[in-house]
Amino acid sequence: MEAFLISLTSVAIAEMGDRTQLLTLVLAARYRKPWAIIAGVLCATLANHGVAGLIGTWFGRQLSPALIDAAVGVSMIGMALWTLKPDTLDAATASSNTGAFVATLVAFFVAEIGDKTQIATVALAAAYSNLVAVVGGTTCGMLLANVPVIFLGNAFAHRLPLKAIHLAACLLFALLGVIFLVRAAHHWG
């Protein structure tokens, strides 16, 4: 349960103001088909985070518990710093003439490659042996952050205190980083 809850909260908070959330806003405004967009986000996230989770699980099996905890701790602190940098969205990202589902699926999958939430999924999957809980948690976190944007669009996006949310995400990632580094120190000590 811990793996699921940490994965869910980490991604849900990190996704606020992220480029994939901005992409979701653009897709919702363009297509106005919320259920097709939600399905596209769900499928793209499951595929993207599933691959990231498999990679993380592989790394988790190759490294000692101390090295895994140290690597996850350092990556979480890196995520904390990355969260402070606001994302932007290239206007050409959502310019496809295909349907809402296919456009969302492709654009969201590609935009998520190398994104902080994908990297967090790799790190979390390396740290926890429960791939289903991690991918399920990160996927639910992604939906938790994006579904309100799909339904409420611009009115919702402009009312979010993004600086405060980014700071909260930074603090969460930093705290998780410290926890994993302390765990690594316990393995070595």
pLDDT tens for each residue of 93-127: 444 445 899 999 998 998 888 888 898 899 999 98
DSSP 42-87: HHHHHHHHHHHHHHHHHHHHHS-HHHHHHHHHHHHHHHHHHHTS--
Residue-level pLDDT at 162: 62
Rg (CA), the chain: 16
Nearest Cα to Cα of residue 15 among 47, 43, 49, 39: 49
Residue-level pLDDT at 141: 96
> What's the token pair of residue 79?
């995520």
Share of the chain above pLDDT 70, in %: 86
pLDDT tens for each residue of 78-95: 877 876 776 555 544 444
Share of the chain above pLDDT 90, in %: 38
Residue-level pLDDT at 22: 79
What's the whole-number mean pLDDT along residues 52-66?
90
Query: CA 11 to CA 122: how far, in whole Å?
Result: 12
Block residue for tokens 């009115």: 155
Query: CA 100 to CA 17: how far, in whole Å?
Result: 21
Nearest Cα to Cα of residue 60 among 133, 129, 135, 3: 129
Query: CA 129 to CA 133: how far, in whole Å?
Result: 9
Residue-level pLDDT at 94: 43
Residue-level pLDDT at 155: 61
Residue 104 CA: distances (Å) to CA of 54, 141, 148, 180: 23, 17, 16, 35
Nearest Cα to Cα of residue 111 among 131, 96, 129, 130: 96
Which of 30-44, 68-82, 148-162 has the least mean pLDDT? 148-162
Which of 74-78, 102-106, 133-137, 175-179 has the least mean pLDDT? 74-78
Chain mean position to CA 142: 6
Could you tell me which residue, 90 or 47, shows the higher pLDDT? 47
